[in-house]
Amino acid sequence: MKILIDFFPILLFVGAYKFYNIYVATGVLMAATVVQMALIYLIDRRLQTMHKVTLVLILLFGTLTLVLQDDRFIKWKPTVLYGAMALALAVALWILKKNYLKLLLGSQMELPEGVWMRLNVAWVLYCAFMSAINAYVVLNFSTEAWVEFKLWGYAFPLVFLVAQGIYIAPHLKNDEPAA
């Protein structure tokens, strides 16, 4: 169910674009994201910082897209979001000497320090890659191609998360006693 909550705004966005246009799709994305965040809040009783940032950026860039009737704003939102994430994680790690992934997830899983460090670097690289690839598609392809990329581009995060899970699995501590 959680995965459905994560993907329904983009599915509704693509559907609205196919049947109407980028401006209707942007309004649908904004509304669907508000509903998505409300559902996440009802389930978890809180929104993580990433949820809040995503909501603000979608509402901000969506509003600019609709008010100015300029689809460049909504198309650049992922570049800004991923770029900001890459920068924040990098600055925290290499300047502030803090590993935000460990701070966010350390209570949920216990991993060796080196694994936390490599995961943080992987997230910096992944976010920089996603920012760059979105910018490339925005600059070199039509709005229709960008919308298709938004749908099929979800393969990138899925592959990244599966690879990350495979990487950390051997490092997770097993709480069950040996037989």
pLDDT digits (tens, 9 = 90+) for 8-40: 999 999 999 999 999 999 999 999 999 999 999
pLDDT at 87 over 60: yes
pLDDT at 49 over 90: no
pLDDT at 3 over 80: no
Predicted structure pTM score: 0.86
pLDDT given at position 75: 97
Residue 55 tokens, joined: 């909501």
Domain spans in the chain, listed from the N-terminal domain onward: 1-68, 71-173
pLDDT at 69 over 50: yes
pLDDT digits (tens, 9 = 90+) for 119-168: 999 999 999 999 999 999 999 999 999 999 998 888 898 899 899 999 99
pLDDT given at position 48: 85
